[in-house]
Amino acid sequence: MVQVTTEPVMEKEVGPWKEGWRRFRKNKIALVGAAIVAFVVFLALFGPFIAPQGVNEQDLTKRLLPPSGEHWLGTDDFGRDIFSRIILGARISIAVGFFSVIISIVVGTFLGVVAGYYGGWLDTIISRIFDILLAFPSILLAIAIVSILGPSLQNALIAIAIINIPNFGRLVRSKVLSIKQEEYIMAAKAIGMKNNRILWRHILPNSMTPVIVQGTLAIATAIIEAAALGFLGLGAQIPTPEWGKMLADARIYLLNAPWTIVFPGLAIMITVLGFNLMGDGLRDALDPKMKN
């Protein structure tokens, strides 16, 4: 008779996600990033209730006023309150960043999984399309797409989504390729599992961590790209309080009313910084191997 001993394991039942959250909580810088993101998202959701003035409340007697008690961040060339416009602009930047990245992730993951798992000529075609898309500087490609579709915020969102697809596609493809070789996939086949089940229950969940990390960082990039398109007049149109557009409209007053350009710029910078810090923290927490 065999005596097999089992010593009770001391740890509590922790899944890989909980484990990651525990590591994330310890990372102070990442928490600062998460706090910034939470704050901007809060502004995006409740902006209209917070902003002291509406987006388009013009008062031409109060043009280009410096920051004061009444107008915390000053006024622009139409006498509009910059503080209010920045708060209301949060919604646009967050929406563009978030939705464009969601589209990129969904499309990119699908293409990446198909290319990585099934391989063959499908992989060749999909990978070459990614290569072609990545051969263009991304902002140039976005400009080209917007000029085809016509300048508007919605088309800018679509363009940003398209240019980010190959990043996610390649990421997922490489991850699927490496997970395909893992022994637990061989084990899944040996058990008698169908391809679909292996793909959706074993390969996909194990390839999602880098996608989540990359997604957070991509929101930051998408916000910058949206602002750039807005600045070039290809994104949000007058009078939408989009931060990039605000920068563009303010640049002629750079010398005599610098607050018109400094504060929207700071808003972009702080938001992007928040997403980047949070993304770095997520990477360290969820995928410690990726750090080095």
Partner 1 sequence: MSDVLLQVDGLKKYFPIKKGIFAREVGQVKAVDDISFHVYEGETLGIVGESGCGKSTTGRMLMRLIEPTEGQVMFNGKNLTSLSAEEMRQARRDIQMVFQDPYASLNPRHTVAQILEEPLIVHQIGTKAERRKKVIELLQIVGLSEYHANRYPHQFSGGQRQRIGIARALMTNPKLIIADEPVSALDVSIQAQVLNLMQKLQQELKLTYIFIAHDLGVVRHISDRVGVMYLGKMVELATSESLYEEPLHPYTQALLAAVPVPDPDFVKETKVLQGDIPSPSNPPSGCTFHTRCPFAKDACRELVPALQEVRPGHSVACHLYDDAVTMI
Contact set with partner 1 (CB under 8 A):
1-2, 4-6, 8-9, 11, 13-16, 182-184, 186-194, 197, 202, 205-206
In whole angstroms, the minimum distance from the beta carbon of 217 to partner 1 comes to 23
In whole angstroms, the minimum distance from the beta carbon of 63 to partner 1 comes to 59
Q: Please say which residue, 15 or 150, places its beta carbon nearer to partner 1.
A: 15
Q: Please say which residue, 116 or 264, places its beta carbon nearer to partner 1.
A: 116
CA 123 – CA 102 distance, rounded (Å):
23
CA 132 – CA 139 distance, rounded (Å):
14
- In which residue are the tokens 């293409």 written? 111
In whole angstroms, the minimum distance from the beta carbon of 218 to partner 1 comes to 23
Q: Please say which residue, 20 or 241, places its beta carbon nearer to partner 1.
A: 20
In whole angstroms, the minimum distance from the beta carbon of 283 to partner 1 comes to 18
In whole angstroms, the minimum distance from the beta carbon of 30 to partner 1 comes to 22
CB 179 within 8 A of CB 112: no
Q: Is 262 exposed, middle or buried (0-12, 13-18, 19+ CB in 10 A)?
A: middle
Q: Please say which residue, 13 or 256, places its beta carbon nearer to partner 1.
A: 13
CA 220 – CA 39 distance, rounded (Å):
15
Q: How far is CA 156 from CA 40, 43, 161, 216, in A?
A: 21, 22, 9, 19
Q: Please say which residue, 4 or 255, places its beta carbon nearer to partner 1.
A: 4
